[in-house]
């Protein structure tokens, strides 16, 4: 099977099968062997690994993964791509092709069926419109995933690895960094895709923590605070939390607990680290339950 990362091979295959890109599925196929190799290298795949690939498209990335991994489980939502994938992946007996929606798949069941229950490595060129739901679903504590290497919109990748005090820093940054170490591996221009997207892309690696880097008594409460803090990010934290959470938090409570942490009473959420949010969360829980 020819290298599908090369533009001429991808174009010939698309014409042969009279395939039409579906805009609603956010389909943009990579046509750069250098970038495909970079993604596969960034995923740190070894022969013992089972890789879950989300949205294999015509199988360009799948080829690179199959050369490195023991098994590749490729989940594709577009029924029109299944016959193409059956053709392009025929030379790779270690690839399992599944027609379905990744958000409806039981990842634990896939790990049991194809990797003896051990955590999977995830690799994907994700549709921009559904990046965040997929990432957050994969990072849930009950999902057996040890690393995620994905192509996403550059702006989203920057938000995932952003630090306090930057304009990119927000609820997504904190949610991702609670579960994983985030690092941008490469920036990818639009001309590496067919059709060309309107924005730049980036490859980001998320290495899953064995346990979160901070302790909090109630992670759900912590994330409610974080969402409220960034819902109107220009508000002070005391105003944002007193108006944005259903937990009976008052402005006075937040102000008092910020003083306990030696933080300014007029501080905004964008200035707090994950550790500071976790400490504030536990202090506010104490006050609510007193």
Q: What confidence score (pLDDT) does residue 287 get? A: 86
Residues sharing a CB contact under 8 Å with residue 205, sequence separation 6 or more, in sequence order:
42, 43, 147, 148, 149, 182, 183, 184, 185
Binning pLDDT at 50, 70 and 90, where does residue 232 land? confident
Express as a percent the part of the chain with pLDDT over 90: 86
- Give the residue from 81, 200, 228, 54 showing the smallest Cα distance to 138: 54
Are the C-beta atoms of 131 and 199 separated by less than 8 Å?
no
pLDDT by residue (tens digit) across 131-181?
999 999 999 888 999 999 999 999 999 999 999 999 999 999 999 999 999
What pTM does this model have? 0.91
Q: What confidence score (pLDDT) does residue 121 get? A: 98
Binning pLDDT at 50, 70 and 90, where does residue 6 land? confident
């Amino acid at each position: 099977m020819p290298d599908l990362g090369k533009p001429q091979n991808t174009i010939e295959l698309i014409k042969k099968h009279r395939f039409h890109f579906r805009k609603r599925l956010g389909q943009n196929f990579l046509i750069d062997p250098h970038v495909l190799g970079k993604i596969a290298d960034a995923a740190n795949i070894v022969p013992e690994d089972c890789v879950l690939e989300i949205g294999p498209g015509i199988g360009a990335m799948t080829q690179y993964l199959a050369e490195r991994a023991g098994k590749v489980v490729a989940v594709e939502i577009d029924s029109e791509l299944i016959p193409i994938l059956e053709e392009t992946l025929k030379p790779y007996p270690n690839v399992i092709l599944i027609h379905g929606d990744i958000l409806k798949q039981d990842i634990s069941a896939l790990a049991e069926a194809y990797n003896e229950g051990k955590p999977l490595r995830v690799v994907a060129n994700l549709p921009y419109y559904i990046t965040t739901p997929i990432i957050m679903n994969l990072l849930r504590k009950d999902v057996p995933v040890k690393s995620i290497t994905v192509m996403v919109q550059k702006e989203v990748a920057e938000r995932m690895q952003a630090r306090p005090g930057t304009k990119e820093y927000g609820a997504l940054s904190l949610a991702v960094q609670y579960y994983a170490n985030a690092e941008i591996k490469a920036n990818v221009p639009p001309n590496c895709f067919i059709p060309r997207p309107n924005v730049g892309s980036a490859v980001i690696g998320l290495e899953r923590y064995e346990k979160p880097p901070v302790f909090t008594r109630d992670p759900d409460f912590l994330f409610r605070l974080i969402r409220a803090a960034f819902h109107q990010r220009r508000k002070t934290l005391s105003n944002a939390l007193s108006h944005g959470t259903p937990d009976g938090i008052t402005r006075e409570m937040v102000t008092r607990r910020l003083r306990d942490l030696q933080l300014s009473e007029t501080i905004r959420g964008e200035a707090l680290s994950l550790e500071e949010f976790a400490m504030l969360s536990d202090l506010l829980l104490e006050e609510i339950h007193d």
